């Protein structure tokens, strides 16, 4: 699980549940290898035996339960003012 030092920040950003997804789950190396083989980075699609599969941001939002309303969280930014 994520460090307890950042837990409050993750909770405040409504990201705590996402940070804990998959904890304790075992990944299937063969499935991961297959997905890597089917991924086409130029088109950002999976080329599966039955056709193309595109993962959209809406898909990710629905699967992970992310909030799409509210303030944007983008990371660190800094600036200097010149006097």
**pLDDT, tens only, 15-48:** 888 888 877 778 788 988 988 999 998 988 999 8
- Is residue 66 scored above 80 in pLDDT? no
- Is residue 83 scored above 60 in pLDDT? no
Any idea what DSSP says for residue 39?
E
Residue 22's pLDDT is what? 75
pLDDT band at 81 (very low <50, low <70, confident <90, very high): low
Q: For the chain, what are the domain ranges?
A: 1-47
How would you list the strands of the sheet with 39-40, edge to edge? 39-40, 45-48, 51-53
pTM of the model: 0.47
Residue 45, C-beta contacts closer than 8 angstroms, at least 6 positions apart: 39, 52, 53, 54
């Amino acid at each position: 699980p994520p460090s307890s030092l950042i837990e409050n920040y993750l909770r405040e950003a409504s990201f705590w549940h996402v940070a804990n997804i998959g904890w304790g789950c075992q990944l299937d190396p063969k499935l991961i290898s297959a997905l890597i083989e089917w991924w086409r980075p130029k088109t950002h699609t999976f080329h599966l035996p039955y056709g193309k599969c595109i993962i959209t941001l809406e898909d990710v939002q629905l699967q992970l339960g992310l909030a799409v309303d509210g303030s944007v969280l983008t990371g660190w930014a800094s600036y200097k003012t010149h006097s």
